[in-house]
Structure 1
Amino acid sequence: MRNLERLTVETGRVIQRRYLLQRLVQQGQTCAVYQGFDQVLQRTVAIKAAAVEHIPAYRAAIRATAQFAHPNIIGIYDLIVEPDALYIVQEYVDGDDFGTLLQSQLSPYHVVDLGVQVCQALMYASTPVRKVSHGDLTPSAIIRDRRGLVRINNFALPGDAAYFSAWNVIGATGGPVFSDPDLPAGQMSDSRRADDTRAVGLLLYQLLAGRTPDARMVEPSADGRLRFMRNAPAEVCELVARTVIRQHPQYIATPEALHAELKVLAEALEPPPPPISGQLAPAYQAVEDPMARAPQAQFAPARSGSLLSQPLGSGVRSADGEYAARSDTNGRMMTLDASNASTAFDASMSAKLAAARQAAYAPEVPVKRVNMPLVILFGLVLFALFFGIGYYLSTILIH
C-alpha cells in the first residue's frame, strides 16, 4: 500500500515517454486511477497504477480480457510494467460514477436499462469463446457516459471481499461469499455466473433503495431486508428480489435469464420519445401514467407492525408504498413488511407489463407466401377452359 500511496502524488509524470498523468480520478484499494494524455495519438486516456503486490492479479486479468471489444466494456490500450508499479492504459470514459447515479435518483426505466446493459457485457464475456466471469462487479466497476451507455470495468479481478461479505446478509442464508474460490480469478463456472448475476441485482437494488437524496452509497440493512423507494414498480422489486435472494423458488442464476426479463420491463417502462422541435402537440389528451405522478425520491421508513409471511415473489405491497423482503431462517420464505397491506398491484403497470411479456414471448406466426408461378398457371388453365367453352358455343350458334 505504501507504493500505491506514493503513486497518488505523481501527477505530471510521463510514463514511457508517452503517457502524461494529469490528475487523480479515483483512489482504490488496489490501484490509483488517473486521467492521462497519450502524447503520441493525442487523445485522453485513463491510466491505472497498481502497486507491486497486485501486479500478478492485474496481469492475469489483462491476459484474459485484452481482446474484449464490446460497447458496454471499457477497452484496454496498453500495459506498461515498471520496477515499482504496473500501468494499465485504458479508454477514458467521461460520465457519471455509481455514486453520482445514486444522487441523480434514476427513474425505474433507467435503472432497468442499466441492468440490461450490464447483463449484455456479462453475456459477451461468458460466451464459449471467452469464458470469463467478472467476479468484482461492485459500484466502482460501473460508469455511465454522457450518452447513457453503461461501461463496465475490472473484469477478471479478485472480488472485493469486504463489499460482498457485507451484502451477503441479504438473501444469502449464510452461504459462501464467493463461489469456486479455488479457481483462478475470472475463470468461468456456473456458480460464478450466478454470483455475477446476483451482483447485478445488488446494484439495481441500491439504485432503487430508500436513502437520503444526497447519498453516494447504500449500506445493506442489518436485518437483511430489501426496502425500496415508494415509486419503485412492484414488478421491478420482485425481479430484484428473485435475483438477490438465492433461496427464491424462481431464483435467477444467469445473465441471459435476467437480461430477458429486464428487457420486458424496459419495453413496458420506456417513456415516450420527446416531441420533435416545432411539432404541434396532439389534439387529444394523453392518459397519464400513475407512475409518472409518483415522487422520485420519497421513501417511508419501515414501521413496526404485523408481519405477513408470503411465498417469495408474491408481491405484497404495504399501504405506504414500501416493499421489504428477506429470507427466513430456512431460506424458503420471504417476510414482507405488510402493515395495512394491500395485495393489489398498480393495475395499469401490471397490465402494461403483462402485455409486454406476451409480446416478447409469443411464438412467431409463420407468414404464408403465395406461390406466384402456380397462380399464373392456374389462371392460364382457367383462361384456356373458358376460351374453349366460348369457341364451342359460338360454332353451335352460327350453324
Structure 2
Amino acid sequence: MESIASSLLSLAYRLFQPGLCPGDWAWATSMAGALIALFPVGTAVAVALMRKFTGNRYHGGALAALIALGLVGMFLIPWLLITGVSSVFRAVFRGDPAGLSPQEYSALQQQYCWVGPQDEYLGGKQNVYETLFYPSGDMLSYGYYLGGLVGLPLLVLLAVLLLARIAMRRGPKWPGRLLWVSFVLLVIASAGVESNTAVHLWLGFLPTTVLGVIPVALVGPPSWSTIEDSDRRPERLPEQRPQQPVRIDPREQQQQQTPPPPPPPPAKQYAPTSVAPAPEPPPEQPPGELAATPGPVPVPPGSAPAGSSRFRRVRRLGHGGFGTVWEAVDTQLGRTVALKIAHAPDRETEERMQREARALAALSHPNCVHVYDLVEEPDGLALVMEYLEGQPLAEIVDTAGPLDDVAAGRLWATMASALAAAHSKGVLHRDVKPSNVIIDPSGVAHLIDFGIARSRGDSKLTATGMMVGTPDYVAPETAAGAPASPASDAWQLAATVSYALTGQPPRGTRETPMAALMAAARAEPPTQLPRHSVHAKLLAASLDPQPRNRPTLNTVHREVEGWLARAGTSTDGPVTKLVPRQQ
C-alpha cells in the first residue's frame, strides 16, 4: 500500500504544487486528500445507481452490496491510502525515498516559511492522537490543530451525510447510516496519522465531498414504479411436500382400468318465459393489465312494454354534450336513482353507454359511483346509477373556498384508492376533474362519470370531435396525443387536489379551451400550486410532465395516509361538511 500511496503522492505533486507557504509538498498533500475523497463520492454515486434498479429493496444481495460499498468505499480504501501517505512521509523523514523520484525526494528537503524542512513538517511530528490528547505547544497552536483535526472532519462528515441523504431519496433514511458510520470509522482509525499530514489531507477532502453532491444529484432518485415494485411483498408459494409412494390395491387398480362413465346430459334448456340461473362472472384480471371484458354488462329488462318507463323523473341534475342526467325514482323498487340518458341513441352512443356500464359494473369501491342497470327509455338508452346527494367539489371550492391540508389529504387518499381499484380492473377514467367528484352530506368523496373510460377491448372506439378529458385538467402526454395510462389519471387527480387547495387549475385559467389544450400539450409547468401546503412536494412530483417520474396512486395513498396518521387523523373522516339541499 505504501507504493500505491507514493504513486498517489507523485500524481498529486504533478497536478498541484504551488511554491507557496507552507510548501509545495504540503499543497500536494491536500491534492492527494482531494483524490482520496473521490472514493466516498464514487460510493454515493454507486449507491444512487444501484437504487435506480432495486428501489427500496434492502434485503439479501441488495443489503450486502450496500454494506460492502459503505465499508470498502467509505472506510477501507480511504484509510489505507491515508495511512500509506503518512507512512511515505515518515519514511522520507528517516532518509528512505519510499518510492519517490530523486527530484521529489530532494524537494521534500526544502524549507518554507515557518514550517522548516517539509519532510520534518509532514513526517516528523506527533500523530493525531498525541496532538489532541497530549499537546506540547501553546494554546494558539493547539487551537489550530483542534480546528484542523476535529473541525475539518466534522465538516466533511456533514457533506457525507448530505451525500447519503441524496442517494437515499424517495426511501427510508436508515440505510444511509451504512455510509456515514463507515466514514466515522475512517476518522477514528486515522488517529495514528501524522497530525500535519492529516490537516492537509482533510483540507483536500472537504471541497471534493461538497462538490460530490452534484454527480449524486444528477443520478436522480429511482422511479416511483421501481419503488412501488420494491415495496410490494413477494408472494409466498405454498410449500410442496415430497410425495410418498402410494400402494395400489389390485382391486382398486382393476376399478381404475374400467372405462369412464358416460358424459353428463346437456344443460337443461329453459323456456323463454322461465328464469335461467345467472351465469358465473368472469375471473378477475391480474392487477395492472387492462381487461378485455372488465365486467358483466347489465342488460335491459325485456319485460317492460314499449313506450313506457319504470323510472319517474324528478329533476334534471346535469346536461352536457353527451347526455342528460336526471334524478329519478325506480317505481318497481321504490328507490331514488340517477338516470343518464344519451342524446342521440345511435350505434356509437350505445357502445359508449355500454362501455361506461362495463367500467362501473367491474368496480366495487365505496368511493366510486355504482351502476344498477342499462335500460331502454322512450327517448334513448339510459344508464341507471346510484343517486348521490351532494355537491360537486368544484361548486364547494367555488362557494366555500379552498380546503385545508387535512381535508385535501382525505380527498387525495380516497380518490387515489378509488382510481387504483379501477386500474386493477383494467379501467381508466381519463376525465378526473373537480366536477366529477361529488361530496355527499356526510363529507365523503365519490368519483363519478366514467363516460370516457376505456378498457383494452374497446381501445379503438372514439367519438367524432370528442376531446379526451377537460383541457384544464388533462395530462400533458394525453393532450399531445399519447394514449392514456394510469399515470395520466394520477396527474389529473393531482391537478384536482391542487384545485381543491388553491381554487385554481394548476396551469392557471386560459381564455379559451383551445388555449388551455395548447398549454397542456406544451407541458407548461404548473404556476398555481399551493406553495405553503404540506402536500406541495408530493403534488409537484405527481404533476411531473414525464409519466415515469410520477408516483403511482398506491404510493400517493400510502404517503398521504402516513401523513394523516402522523397528524393524528385518518382517511375515514369527512372531506367537508355539507348541509343537504332544501327540497
Into which bin does the TM-score normalised by the smaller protein fall?
0.5 to 0.7
Aligned to 1:364: none
Deviates more, 1:113-122 or 1:100-109: 100-109
1:258 CA displacement: 1.4
Max Rg structure? 2
Aligned to 2:435: 140
Describe the superposition over 1:211-258 as per-residue Cα deviations: whole angstroms up to 9, x where unpaired: 5xxx9xx7368764332457x42x311111111122499522x21111
Q: How many angstroms apart in 2 are the aligned matches of 1:226 and 1:15?
A: 53
For residues 165 and 106 of structure 1, do their structure 2 counterparts lie closer, same or farther at Cα, with a shift above 3 Å needed?
closer
Which residue of 515, 525, 528 maps to 1:227? Answer: 528
1:43 CA displacement: 1.4
Aligned to 2:555: 257
Which residue of 479, 496, 519 maps to 1:203? Answer: 496
Q: Secondary structure at the match of 1:23?
A: strand
For residues 133 and 176 of structure 1, do their structure 2 counterparts lie closer, same or farther at Cα, with a shift above 3 Å needed?
closer
1:162 CA displacement: 6.8
Q: Are 2:392 and 1:94 equivalent residues in the alignment?
A: no
> Is the CA contact 2:309–2:377 (under 8 Å) kept in the aligned structure 1?
no
Name structure 1 gaps, 5 residues minimum.
Answer: 1-13, 182-190, 273-399
Q: How many angstroms apart in 2 are the aligned matches of 1:100 and 1:229?
A: 19
Q: How many angstroms apart in 1 are the aligned matches of 2:446 and 2:323?
A: 19
Q: How many angstroms apart in 2 are the aligned matches of 1:166 and 1:125?
A: 23
In the alignment, residue 77 of structure 1 is paired with which amino acid? Y
Describe the superposition over 1:125-179 as per-residue Cα deviations: whole angstroms up to 9, x where unpaired: 222xx222222222232101112221111236259737544445x8x4xx44277
Which residue of 467, 480, 490 maps to 1:161? Answer: 467
For residues 83 and 243 of structure 1, do their structure 2 counterparts lie closer, same or farther at Cα, with a shift above 3 Å needed?
same
Describe the superposition over 1:296-330 as per-residue Cα deviations: whole angstroms up to 9, x where unpaired: xxxxxxxxxxxxxxxxxxxxxxxxxxxxxxxxxxx
1:23 CA displacement: 0.5
Q: Secondary structure at the match of 1:114?
A: helix
In the alignment, residue 99 of structure 1 is paired with which amino acid? A
Structure 1's consecutive aligned runs of 4 or more residues displaced over 3 angstroms after TM superposition are: 14-17, 162-168, 178-181, 220-225, 247-250, 268-272
> Is the CA contact 1:97–1:143 (under 8 Å) kept in the aligned structure 2?
yes
In the alignment, residue 340 of structure 2 is paired with which amino acid? K
For residues 84 and 24 of structure 1, do their structure 2 counterparts lie closer, same or farther at Cα, with a shift above 3 Å needed?
closer
Describe the superposition over 1:73-92 as per-residue Cα deviations: whole angstroms up to 9, x where unpaired: 11111211247421111111
Q: How does 1:328-367 map to 2 (within 5 A)?
A: none
> Is the CA contact 1:55–1:85 (under 8 Å) kept in the aligned structure 2?
no
Q: How many angstroms apart in 1 are the aligned matches of 2:538 and 2:323?
A: 34
Aligned to 1:108: 405
For residues 84 and 18 of structure 1, do their structure 2 counterparts lie closer, same or farther at Cα, with a shift above 3 Å needed?
closer
Aligned to 1:393: none
Q: Secondary structure at the match of 1:29?
A: coil
Q: Secondary structure at the match of 2:561?
A: helix
Q: How many angstroms apart in 2 are the aligned matches of 1:93 and 1:249?
A: 35
1:195 CA displacement: 0.9
Q: How does 1:43-82 map to 2 (within 5 A)?
A: 43-51=335-343, 52-53=345-346, 54-82=349-377
1:267 CA displacement: 2.3
Q: Secondary structure at the match of 2:535?
A: helix
Describe the superposition over 1:19-59 as per-residue Cα deviations: whole angstroms up to 9, x where unpaired: 11111111122121111111122111111111224221111
Describe the superposition over 1:88-140 as per-residue Cα deviations: whole angstroms up to 9, x where unpaired: 1111111121222313232111011101111111122222xx22222222223
Q: Secondary structure at the match of 2:430?
A: coil
Q: Secondary structure at the match of 2:479?
A: coil
Which residue of 479, 486, 489 maps to 1:177? Answer: 479
Decide which structure has greater strand share: 1
> Is the CA contact 1:58–1:157 (under 8 Å) kept in the aligned structure 2?
no
Describe the superposition over 1:258-287 as per-residue Cα deviations: whole angstroms up to 9, x where unpaired: 111121222234569xxxxxxxxxxxxxxx
For residues 249 and 99 of structure 1, do their structure 2 counterparts lie closer, same or farther at Cα, with a shift above 3 Å needed?
closer
For residues 116 and 179 of structure 1, do their structure 2 counterparts lie closer, same or farther at Cα, with a shift above 3 Å needed?
farther
In the alignment, residue 558 of structure 2 is paired with which amino acid? A
- Give me the TM-score of the superposition, normalised by structure 2: 0.37
- Give me the TM-score of the superposition, normalised by structure 1: 0.52
Which residue of 545, 565, 568 maps to 1:267? Answer: 565
Aligned to 1:21: 313
Q: How many angstroms apart in 2 are the aligned matches of 1:17 and 1:165?
A: 37
Q: How many angstroms apart in 2 are the aligned matches of 1:155 and 1:270?
A: 34
For residues 152 and 166 of structure 1, do their structure 2 counterparts lie closer, same or farther at Cα, with a shift above 3 Å needed?
closer
Aligned to 1:40: 332
Aligned to 1:362: none
For residues 97 and 167 of structure 1, do their structure 2 counterparts lie closer, same or farther at Cα, with a shift above 3 Å needed?
closer
Aligned to 1:152: 447
> Is the CA contact 2:437–2:446 (under 8 Å) kept in the aligned structure 1?
yes
Aligned to 1:242: 541
> Is the CA contact 2:502–2:529 (under 8 Å) kept in the aligned structure 1?
yes
> Is the CA contact 1:144–1:150 (under 8 Å) kept in the aligned structure 2?
yes
Q: Are 2:418 and 1:124 equivalent residues in the alignment?
A: no
Q: How many angstroms apart in 2 are the aligned matches of 1:83 and 1:20?
A: 12
Q: Secondary structure at the match of 1:267?
A: helix
In the alignment, residue 500 of structure 2 is paired with which amino acid? L
> Is the CA contact 1:19–1:36 (under 8 Å) kept in the aligned structure 2?
yes
Report the identity percentage: 24
Q: How many angstroms apart in 2 are the aligned matches of 1:251 and 1:270?
A: 27
In the alignment, residue 245 of structure 1 is paired with which amino acid? D
For residues 177 and 48 of structure 1, do their structure 2 counterparts lie closer, same or farther at Cα, with a shift above 3 Å needed?
same
> Is the CA contact 2:350–2:381 (under 8 Å) kept in the aligned structure 1?
yes
In the alignment, residue 539 of structure 2 is paired with which amino acid? V
Describe the superposition over 1:332-377 as per-residue Cα deviations: whole angstroms up to 9, x where unpaired: xxxxxxxxxxxxxxxxxxxxxxxxxxxxxxxxxxxxxxxxxxxxxx
Q: Secondary structure at the match of 1:88?
A: strand
Aligned to 1:382: none
For residues 32 and 17 of structure 1, do their structure 2 counterparts lie closer, same or farther at Cα, with a shift above 3 Å needed?
closer
